[in-house]
Structure formats: C-alpha cells, structure tokens
C-alpha cells in the first residue's frame, strides 16, 4: 500500500474528521482500505496509469480519463508535477457542487508545501494535517472561479518549445525535450531502420518520431508502450502522419504482449532514484527488451551515467557497446 493510501485511511479514521459523503470523484489515487470509509461505494475514478487501472478493475471499478459531471466530494492525489496539480485543481474544482468538499493528499517529499500554498490561493479556508509522511488538505469553502479557469487551461496539450510535438503537465519531460533522449536521438538519426520495432516507455513519442523521420527508414510497424494514458494520446497526435504506428497503454514491467519478436527496441527507461537503490525498474525494462528481441535484434537505450545496467546487459545480450557519453548520460547499443 502506498503512503498516500495509508495517509487517507488513517485520516478518515479520526473521530474529529467529517465522514466522506456524497457523490465522489477520485483523482489519480490507488485503491485500498480507505475506500471503506466512503459513503459512495461506486465512486468515479479518474486514472491515467495503466498499473493503477488494473488495480481499480480488480475492485470492480472501471476508471475513466475525463468527466464533466458534478460531485459532492473530490479526493485528489497530488503528484510531484506542480503544473499537473494546478490543472487538476483548476479543472475539477469547477465540478464541485455548491458546498462540496475537496481533499488533496500528497507526500511531503513531493511538494506538499507548494500544493498547500496553491490550495490556499484557490480556496479561502483550508484545513491542513500530516499523516504517514503526507500532507492532507481539506476544504469545503468555495473556490475562486477566475483562478480555477486560469489553472484549468494548463490541462490542454501544448507544443514543446523548439519542436512540433505536443505534451501536457504530468507527462515525463513535458516542458522540454529530455537531455538524455536528445542525446540518443542524435544517434538514432544516423541509423537505418527497417522491419518491426518497439518504443518502450514511449512518453509522447519523441524517439519514435526521430526513427520515423530518418531518410533511410523502411519500418513496417512501431509499437509504442506507455504507462501514462495522456502521454499515449499525445503520441498519437505527434505521430498522426505515420500509419505504421500502434499504441499500447500498459505497464511494461508487467510484461508486454506481442505476437512476434522485434527487430529493434528503443528506450529511455525510467528509474526510481531515491526509492529503489537496486534500480530494478530500469533493469526490468532491459529484461523485457531482451525477451522481445529477435536473435540479432538491436536495443538502443539511454540512461544516467550512474545507473549500473552494464552487468545485466552483458548477461542478457550477445554483445554491447557504448555509443555516446555526455551531459550525465550514456547511450548503449546491445545486440540480442
């Protein structure tokens, strides 16, 4: 159970806290025992992560990605992305019924102080408390309608500076192209591409756009695998000129499903810098790439210099070589 679900569960157990009642919207949370405290046993769940989507479905709830309905209670699970939090505050505070209640929860290390200040700008009265290394912010006061409309506008896809690609708050590298990805992109531009490929952890499709934009490509298909629903929707827009693309909303670490192995795979695998010193998340991506490549197939990956992937790559691949090392990143080519 995540610390945020623990925090909400503990919070609702307090006698002095009003019972969570009325028609309920849950924004980006995970299921857990805290749901038992809700009066609404069939809440609306707004969910963008494929792994969370599966957890909700096991609870017999089918998440959605947008809603225009009105609610009596909104429980918002904040993230480390300030603009994403602002967009949710702005958009969904407008969907609170009169006298409705808003609750935000966010881990202290993920910008709790910033979120508290933002909520206090939007709502005139906010109760704040700490539970399980999280900040819980609770209000039933009316939101500032003008500020809500301003913040809601942040939720719209916007063009990334210096590119024709669109992204939106909450997506990896939403404001500008990631340094590691641009380093790998310079290598990908020089390669010849053919057959069937995959972009694992594709985000808004930048690396795939580089491959498909090369002059020597004869690509039959590219499958983009991405955890974040919004990122995949942006990728569809960014790659709309190509008819060889296919999109899979899924958790790569749970395994990808494809009827054939790939000729090549490209990736900028994620990692949990502080939470997981074994760097297992990125290693799982590499294992999944090795499992899904044809004999002789190629993996192109970029990673932070300090990430210890080389030993695993030596174990799983026939050969590998360092392609570039710059600005704190390294690019590696491995042959299955």
Cβ atoms of 335 and 317 closer than 8 Å: yes
Query: What is the distance in angstroms between the CA of the first residue and the CA of the last residue of the chain?
Result: 37
**Predicted local confidence at residue 97, as pLDDT:** 98
114: nearest Cα among 83, 156, 143:
83
Residue 275 has pLDDT above 80, yes or no: no
C-alpha distances in Å from residue 156, one per residue of 118, 233, 293, 329: 19, 12, 36, 31
For 142-211, give the DSSP string: PP-HHHHHHHHGGGS-EEPTTSS-EE-TTSTT-SS--HHHHHHHHHHTTS--EEEEEEET-TTSHHHHHH
**Predicted local confidence at residue 216, as pLDDT:** 82
Phi-psi region of 111 (alpha: psi -120 to 50; beta: other; left: phi over 0): left
**Predicted local confidence at residue 160, as pLDDT:** 96
Residue 57, token pair as written in the block: 């479905």
Task: Indicate the pLDDT class of residue 257, thresholds 50, 70 and 90.
Answer: confident
Question: What is the overall mean pLDDT for the chain?
Answer: 96
Region 308-332: mean pLDDT is 97
Cβ atoms of 293 and 318 closer than 8 Å: no
Question: What length is written for the chain?
Answer: 336
Residue 16 has pLDDT above 70, yes or no: yes
Q: Do domains 3-155 and 158-335 have the same CATH topology?
A: yes
Quick one: fold of 158-335?
Rossmann fold (3.40.50)
Task: Indicate the pLDDT class of residue 12, thresholds 50, 70 and 90.
Answer: very high
Cβ atoms of 24 and 43 closer than 8 Å: yes
Per DSSP, 141 falls in state S
Share of the chain above pLDDT 90, in %: 94
Contacts with 267 (C-beta within 8 Å, 6 or more apart), sequence order = 199, 200, 201, 207, 285, 289, 299, 300, 301, 302
d(CA 214, CA 208): 10
Domain segments of the chain: what residues?
Answer: 3-155, 158-335
- Domain 3-155: CATH class, spelled out: alpha beta
Region 281-289: mean pLDDT is 96
Region 97-126: mean pLDDT is 97
**Predicted local confidence at residue 1, as pLDDT:** 80
CA angle, 330 as apex, 229 and 269 as ends, to 5°? 20
pLDDT in tens, 130-146: 999 999 999 999 999 99
210: nearest Cα among 191, 192, 185, 246:
185
**Predicted local confidence at residue 272, as pLDDT:** 65
**Predicted local confidence at residue 274, as pLDDT:** 46
Predicted TM-score (pTM) of the model is: 0.95
d(CA 257, CA 280): 21
156: nearest Cα among 70, 240, 209, 91:
91
Residue 86, token pair as written in the block: 């602002």
d(CA 176, CA 169): 11
150: nearest Cα among 126, 122, 171:
122
**Predicted local confidence at residue 228, as pLDDT:** 97
């Amino acid at each position: 159970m995540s610390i945020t679900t623990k925090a909400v569960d503990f919070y609702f157990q307090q006698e002095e806290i009003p019972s969570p009642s009325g028609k309920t919207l849950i924004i980006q949370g995970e299921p857990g025992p805290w749901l038992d405290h809700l009066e609404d046993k069939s809440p609306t769940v707004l969910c963008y992560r494929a792994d969370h989507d599966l957890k909700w479905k096991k609870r017999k709830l089918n998440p959605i990605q947008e809603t225009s309905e009105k609610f009596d209670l909104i429980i918002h699970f904040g993230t480390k992305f300030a603009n994403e939090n602002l967009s949710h505050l702005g958009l969904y505070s407008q969907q609170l019924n009169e006298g409705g209640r808003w609750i935000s929860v966010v881990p202290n290390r993920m910008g709790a102080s910033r979120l508290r200040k933002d909520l206090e700008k939007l709502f005139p009265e906010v109760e704040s408390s700490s539970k399980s290394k999280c900040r819980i912010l609770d209000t039933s006061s009316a939101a500032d309608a003008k500020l809500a409309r301003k913040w809601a506008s942040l939720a719209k896809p916007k063009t990334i500076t210096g590119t024709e690609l669109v992204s939106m708050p909450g997506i990896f590298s939403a404001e500008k192209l990631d340094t590691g990805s641009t380093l790998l992109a310079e290598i990908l531009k020089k390669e010849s591409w053919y057959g069937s490929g995959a972009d694992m952890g594709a985000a808004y499709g930048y690396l795939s756009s580089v491959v498909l934009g090369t002059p020597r490509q004869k690509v039959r298909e590219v499958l983009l695998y991405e955890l974040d629903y919004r990122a995949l929707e942006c990728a569809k827009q960014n790659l709309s000129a190509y008819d060889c693309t296919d999109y899979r909303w899924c958790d790569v670490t749970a395994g990808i499903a494809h009827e054939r192995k790939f000729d090549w795979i490209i990736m900028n695998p994620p990692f949990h810098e502080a939470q997981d010193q074994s760097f297992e998340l990125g290693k799982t991506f590499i294992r999944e790439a090795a499992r899904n490549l044809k004999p002789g197939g190629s993996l192109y990956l970029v990673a932070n210099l300090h990430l210890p992937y080389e030993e695993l790559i030596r174990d799983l691949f026939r050969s590998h070589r360092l392609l570039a090392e710059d600005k704190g990143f390294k690019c590696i080519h491995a042959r299955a």
